[in-house]
Every structure is written in structure tokens, then in C-alpha cells.
Structure 1
Amino acid sequence: MNFSIHRSTVLVALQVALTALVAYLVGFYTTSTPDAANASIGGLWAAISGIVVLQASRRETFAMATLRILGSAIGSLVSAAYLFLLPFSSWGMGLCIFITVVLCHLVQIPDHARLASLTVAIVMVVAGNSPHLSPAVNAGLRFAESAIGTATAMFAILIWEKGAEPRDKSG
């Protein structure tokens, strides 16, 4: 077995780590003003979004960014609508995920269903932990955190490819 680490492996690890760190910090500080109790969740959600969106090439990263933003929008809207009517419950979260997946399929974007469902789960769990938080603020913050992570990943791939040979010359 060869346990050597190539320079490209270290560079990819550095790219992912920096993307997650920047997304976390921006998400944390953005969330901390309107929702201090969930600032760490906001940072985590931004970091997760950055990690999920960051791909090997500019084209793949931008394609994943579209999935992330649209999925987050759908999941946020479904969650907010539910939470305006009813308080958090695990059954409600399951129902919202079901509705979100069906909705994504109905509007012919089934590839968005997984990321939309993740957003539902985050919005709903935060609602359970912070029932005083307005559903609109909660869903809006979770969408904004997804957008922060997505933008961080897009920025990272743009500057990373400028300073190095692109991994995908067609992107």
C-alpha cells in the first residue's frame, strides 16, 4: 500500500477546508445578529453548503450551486408554510420532506429533492429548538446560509482555478 500524499491532494484539502472555514465564519456572524441562539447552526449550515457545492471544476461547482439554491428555496418555503400553521414536530418534519420531494418531482426537478429535504430538516429542527423564532426569519436565515456557502464555494473555485491549472479545461 502506498501512503504518500500528492501535492494535488493537499491543495484540494486546503481548498475544501478554507471554503468551509470562510463559509462557517460568514454564516455564523450573519446569523448571530437576528438569531444569536442558532449562530453556530447557521455557520454549520453555510459550511455544509460550501462543502456540498464545491466540486472539481468550475462547471460542476456552478451546476451544483444551482441545485443548492433552488433546493434551499423550495425547502425553506415548504418549511415556513408549515411552521406558520403548526409548531415543529418530527411528524411535521417528515410530512414537509414528503411534500418537498413530491413538489420537486411535480415541477420536474427531482435532482433538487435531496438538497431541498436537507433544508427542510434544518429549518424544522431549528424551529423545534427555538420556537420563539419567526418561521419567516428561520427559513430566510437558513436560505441565506445556504447562499453564503454556495457563494463561498463559487468564489473559491473561481480564484483557485485562476492560480492553478484548471482541473476541467472545458469549465
Structure 2
Amino acid sequence: MALVQQQDVESPGGRRTNIGQAVGSGAILAVACLISYVVITSILTREYSVSRDDDFLGGMWAAVATIFVYRQSYIESARAAFSRTLATLASFVLCLIYLLIFPFHVVGMAALIGIISILLALIRRSEEIITAAITTAVVMVVAGISPQHAWIQPILRLVDSAVGILVGMAAAWIALGLGLSSKPQRSDA
């Protein structure tokens, strides 16, 4: 496969195809991030908004989830969506339980990151540790910034991530339909 990609880059027609795919894929990602951000900051905030700053954070978090999910192939995007969903759910559960009982504290945040790392390693999902740890750090720090309703932060970040994941998968599907990403490969083994 590397040989095929190298030949494409070296031939004038292949180079144009790669440039076109790069531009098309980049444009789809940019529009997908815009959609994720707008859905969170303009549409969903009509239902519930903690603060303007929190709305912006939610938009950013949805765009990050979209970036995380949108990959070079549809199958890679599906795997990334599953990974992001699992990591977000694990963080959501632990942070919500913690914040229903305790206020934000940096030691609590560190403990949750340690616990989530151990749990994911034990269920053999170590590839999700980084995403779950980052999500936990974001949720906990934002809960510290907005302590009045800290328990709502895991719920809001779950919604932000879900929107970003869905938009990222939709973008990957569109890219596949436009021939900008590789098709899912069938495994007959």
C-alpha cells in the first residue's frame, strides 16, 4: 500500500488526486467542526446554559470530539468513535459520582484519573486511557471553575462529546461517499 501511495505522489495525476483529497478532506473536517460548535453553542444552549464561557467550552469540546473521530478511512473513524464513546462514558460515570458527593479538588481529579486508568487497563482497553484521562481533567477543572452546579459538567461534556462524535461520523460517511476516504475493507479470514 505504501508503494501505491508513493507512486500516486510521484505521478502528476496522482499528485493532483492527493492534493484534491487533502483539500476535500480538510474542508469536510472544517465544516464538521463548525457544525459541532454551532450545534452546541447556538442550538443546545437554548435548552440549558450554565454560562457563556461554559457554552464556548462545550462548543470547543464538541469540535475536539469531531476532530478525534474524523479519520482517513471510514473504518478508522468508526473505531475512533467507539474509543471516544467508551472513554467519555467511563469519565462521565466516575466524574458524576464524584461531583454528586464532593466538590472539585485537585487531589480528587488526580484520584479519578488514576482510577479510570486502572479500570480501563483491567478491562484491556488501555488505548482509551489517554482520552478518558483528558476528559476527566477537563470535566473536573470546569467543575472547579463553575462550582455552583459542578455535577452538571459531566452531563454537559457527555452531550458535547456525543454531538462531536455523531458529526465526525457523518463527516466520515460523507467523505467516503465523495471518495475522499478509503472504503471499508472486507476481511474474509
* TM-score normalised to structure 2 length: 0.81
Question: Could you say what secondary structure the match of 1:35 adopts?
Answer: coil
Report the CA distance between 1:169 and its aligned residue.
4.9
- Number of equivalent positions: 167
Decide which of 4, 9, 16 is 2:22's aligned counterpart.
9
Report the CA distance between 1:106 and its aligned residue.
1.7
**Percent identity (aligned):** 28
Q: Which amino acid aligns with 1:28?
A: T
Q: Which amino acid aligns with 2:158?
A: F
Q: Which amino acid aligns with 2:48?
A: P
For 1:59-74, what aligned pairs fall within 5 Å after superposition?
A: 59-74=75-90
Decide which of 124, 128, 142 is 2:144's aligned counterpart.
128
8 Å Cα contact 1:31/1:39 also seen in 2 = yes
Report the CA distance between 1:83 and its aligned residue.
1.3
**Counterpart Cα distance in 2 of 1:65 and 1:31:** 24
**Displaced runs of 4+ in structure 1, greater than 4 A?**
none
Any gaps of 5 or more consecutive residues in structure 1?
Answer: none
Change (3 A) 1:74 1:89: same
Decide which of 85, 96, 102 is 1:86's aligned counterpart.
102
Is residue 2:186 matched to residue 1:145?
no
RMSD: 1.9
**Counterpart Cα distance in 1 of 2:133 and 2:45:** 21
8 Å Cα contact 1:32/1:39 also seen in 2 = no
Report the CA distance between 1:33 and its aligned residue.
3.4
* TM-score normalised to structure 1 length: 0.89
8 Å Cα contact 1:50/1:153 also seen in 2 = yes
8 Å Cα contact 2:21/2:180 also seen in 1 = no
- The structure that has the greater radius of gyration is 2
The worse-fitting range, judged by mean Cα deviation, of 101-110 and 59-68 is 101-110
**Counterpart Cα distance in 2 of 1:163 and 1:6:** 15
Which residue pairs with 1:158 in the alignment?
173
Change (3 A) 1:35 1:62: same
Is residue 2:42 matched to residue 1:26?
no
Question: Could you say what secondary structure the match of 1:34 adopts?
Answer: coil
Any gaps of 5 or more consecutive residues in structure 2?
Answer: 1-15
